[in-house]
Amino acid sequence: MILKLALRRLAIGVLTLLIVSALIFWAVELLPGDIASEVLGQSATPETLAAFREAHKLNDPAMTRYLRWLAGALSGDLGLSLANQRPIAELIGQRAANTFFLAAYAAAIAVPLAVGLGLLAALHRGSFLDRFISSSTLAVISFPEFFVAYILILVFSTWLGWFPSLATVSPAMGLGTRLYMTFLPALTMVLIVMAHMMRMTRAAIVNLLALPYIEMAQLKGLRRWRVIAVHALPNAVAPIVTVIALNLAYLIVGVVLVEVVFVYPGLGQLLVDSVAKRDVTVVQAACLIFAGTYILLNLIADVLGIVSNPRLLHPR
């Protein structure tokens, strides 16, 4: 049953990725200007431009180029960068690793913090603590990522001098140093995604606390934390796991602005730089990786939501 559901969701995910790949390609095609002129510069001669277009097969019909690009992507060959003639896989390898590290770092902080605050708010529903937690998280999420990032830089870097304003990292850097250098961008992402997870946890626990079996457990004299941990929380796993997985997907694709603000050498920064250079092959590859990761995490969220909810697992 679970395998069948997973395969069905996987098939939908693959179809969605194919549609997204077409949208990515055609969106890049619609960018204004001439690719060869943008890459080679205005001083390039007509002969040089023609040779560049011929070498990269830019004169072929768009559908032919799309099918060739899609076939290469499916086989793991993302092609060459138009700007520096290096293999794209070589360009994005370390950049993608940096992006996933930052997302994992933020998730390691955000998930336990959001679940803990959600439980705390549910246990003290209607109190000043509940209102303070809810209003604070909603206030933070009301601001865009770059605004939160600049406020953190102003406070923790400019005023206090605790953390660097630029997240400069290298492959040879130790884990402790890397965690220190990337703390502010990770904290920015934590503040952005924490509200959704916290509010879902709170709502799920509050709904369960009103059910008869929870009231019976309380009437038996069980401690409130034991009632939450043993009786309520296991039944609230499905919505909490789903919203956590969806927010992890957002951590991956929503990292672009954060990387630009902190000049973090990740995939998002590479995407922005490539758009500025009109390096369309790198833009397509980066967008495809972001889209594939987002679809995969949504697939995982669907499967986990079904597995953790007996009513969805056994609909009859």
**Amino acid letter, residue 127:** S
Q: Give the residue, 51 or 314, on which the prediction is more confident.
A: 51
Angle at 161 between CA 160 and CA 163, to 5 degrees: 115
CA gyration radius for the chain? 24
User: C-alpha distances in angstroms, 212 versus 204, 217, 219, 226?
Assistant: 15, 9, 10, 16
Cα distance between residue 240 and residue 245, in whole Å: 9
Return the pLDDT at 1.
63
Cα distance between residue 274 and residue 281, in whole Å: 9
Cα distance between residue 14 and residue 295, in whole Å: 9
Cα distance between residue 11 and residue 238, in whole Å: 23
pLDDT more than 90, % of the chain: 7
Coil, helix or strand for 125? Answer: coil
- Beta-bridged to residue 87, according to DSSP, are 80
End-to-end CA distance of the chain: 13
Place of tokens 């055609």: 26
What are the pLDDT digits (tens) for 228-287?
777 677 777 777 777 787 788 778 777 788 888 898 988 888 888 888 777 788 888 888
Helix, strand, coil share (%) of the chain residues, nearest 5: 75, 0, 20
Tokens of 284: 């397509």
What are the pLDDT digits (tens) for 2-57?
677 778 878 888 888 888 888 888 887 777 766 777 777 777 777 887 887 887 77
Pick from 286, 272, 114, 259: nearest CA to 182:
259
Give me the CATH code for the 88-313 domain, please. 1.10.3720.10
> What does the domain layout of the chain look like in residue ranges?
88-313
> Which burial class, exposed, middle or buried, applies to 174 when counting CB atoms under 10 A from its CB (0-12, 13-18, 19+)?
exposed
**What value does the mean pLDDT of the chain take?**
81
Three state DSSP letters for 245-276: HHHHHHHHHCCHHHHHHHCCCCHHHHHHHHHH
Cα distance between residue 226 and residue 33, in whole Å: 64
Residues 305/242, Cβ–Cβ less than 8 Å: yes
User: C-alpha distances in angstroms, 199 versus 83, 116, 206, 265?
Assistant: 45, 11, 10, 32
Return the pLDDT at 309.
62
pLDDT at 153 over 90: yes
Give the DSSP letter of residue 170: -
Residues 110/247, Cβ–Cβ less than 8 Å: yes
